[in-house]
Structure 1
Amino acid sequence: MLNIVLFGPPGAGKGTQSQKLIAHYHLVHLSTGDLLRAQIAQGTELGLRAKKLMDEGLLVPDEVVIGMIDSALNDNKAAAGFIFDGFPRTVPQAERLDQLLAQHQATIGCMVALEVGEEELVARLLERGKTSNRPDDQDETKIRRRVMVYNTETAQVAGYYAAQHKFHALNGIGGIDDIFGQVCAVIDQHQTAAGKTPAAATK
């Protein structure tokens, strides 16, 4: 099973690369935001608990998010692997995710972070804001705050995965296919080092 954490600040092109990786390696996309919305819509116990907290303006605790990821893993036992989007964002979350995956006889293969300078990100998001109808893509102050939060969170998690020799930072500026090729090269290198045939080659 191939499990990837793909990180990138808002506007780095992470969404585009995620979709290409999902298609190439036949992965299941695990977005914590999507999981939360789905659980709430389905009225599950975890979803109701999360909604209650969110309605009170509180953060959803890690244990609830981990519970949702566990549920998704159980619902996709035949999957070739997963790409984690938006999680983990803290070291405790990364540690908890490792523990959960171990219960499923799996591990994180690698974490890839797309790096793009702040000024380029601001320009991209402001341009996206003209068509996205997202208020947070139209306010430069909010954009810079989002980038700052990302950089602060990722620095901690990057160190966690670097200690496991699983962290790789790649330049997020360039052609989509060129960047995709670099990401795939990193993933395939980790698969080979782990004694596994690169996932895409097995399909």
Structure 2
Amino acid sequence: MRIVLVGPPGAGKGTQAALLAQTLSVPHISTGDLFRANISQGTELGLKAQQFMREGQLVPDEVTIGMAKDRMDQADAEDGFLLDGFPRNLAQAEALDEILRDAELKLDAVLDLEVPEEEIVKRIAGRRMCRQDSSHIFHVEYTPSKEQGVCDTCGGELYQREDDHEETVRKRLEVYHSETEPIIDYYRSQGLVTTLSALGAVSDVTSRALSALGRAEAA
């Protein structure tokens, strides 16, 4: 299956993408991973992306599209893939359609993870990370540390990332609404979108997604 996963920051796209890709035996292709891989490998596209990032600019669509196309052309993606973070806007969505059309392929489904905005703000703004090991993550309400400000695992200091401050989260949501949300209507007009609640246990959200994909496959 060829799937696009879309949703606002804090909706749990990365978690769901990894679980779904594993269950469906297709590669999970995320924009962040594409950038890191191309930069670390010193590819032409990676060097271009790195230059824009160093200058504090957004990576142009054509660079991101080129990276995504190269990744989708790899052997492990021959039977399908799950895209996370790409396409980010209408130009990228149209480019993806063209790439697939040229290969005589098509998308099977677009999963739209839906979370109320205030819940997103609560999820992200309440997150605390360990300075010693960024994989140790807590939440002031959902998964608080035993001692305030101290990592349960290694005793490191817990802090709030700049990107997780409420004002920053709301700005990220504004960007999502203006740039990314329009692709949902674009794909809805093609009959590809299923909107799913991303509230509740991770396993429950995964079950909803798999159920929606079952329906898409049957169609």
TM-score by length of 1: 0.86
Question: Could you list the runs of 5+ residues in structure 2 that have no partner in the other structure?
Answer: 131-136, 138-158
Cα distance change of structure 1 residues 101 and 121 upon mapping to structure 2, 3 Å threshold: same
Paired-residue identity, % = 42
Whole-angstrom CA distance in 2 between matches of 1:60 and 1:170: 30
For 2:205, the equivalent position in structure 1 comes to 179
Tell me the TM-score normalized by structure 2. Answer: 0.80
> Which one of the candidate residues 188, 199, 202 is aligned to 1:162?
188
Say which structure is richer in helix. 1
Task: Choose 63-72 or 144-153, whichever is displaced more.
Answer: 144-153
Q: 1-side partners of 2:176 and 2:22: how far apart?
A: 26
Q: CA RMSD in A?
A: 1.8
Structure-1 residue corresponding to 2:148: none
* Structure 1 residues 129 and 146, CA gap change in structure 2 (3 angstroms): farther
Which whole-Å deviations, capped at 9, do the CAs of 1:158-188 have from their partners, x for residues lacking one?
Answer: 1100110001211111222222111111111
Deviation at 1:192, TM superposition (A): 1.1
Structure-1 residue corresponding to 2:155: none
- For residues 69 and 83 of structure 1, do their structure 2 counterparts lie closer, same or farther at Cα, with a shift above 3 Å needed? same
Equivalent residue number for residue 2 of structure 2: 3
Residue of structure 1 aligned with 2:218, choices 175, 184, 192: 192
Range 98-107 or range 74-83, more displaced? 74-83
TM-superposed deviation, 1:154 = 3.2
CA–CA distance in 1 between the matches of 2:88 and 2:120?
20
* Amino acid paired to 2:62: E
Q: Which AA in structure 2 matches 1:119?
A: E
Q: What amino acid sits opposite 1:57 in the alignment?
A: G
Number of residue pairs aligned between Structure 1 and Structure 2: 192
In structure 1, runs of 5+ residues without a counterpart are: 194-203
User: Residues 136 and 143 of structure 1 are in contact (CA less than 8 Å); yes or no, is this contact kept in structure 2?
Assistant: no
**C-alpha contact 2:26 2:76 (8 A) present in aligned 1:** no
Question: 1:1-203, aligned counterparts within 5 Å?
Answer: 2-77=1-76, 79-131=78-130, 132=137, 135-193=161-219
For residue 145 of structure 1, give the secondary structure of its aligned residue in structure 2.
helix
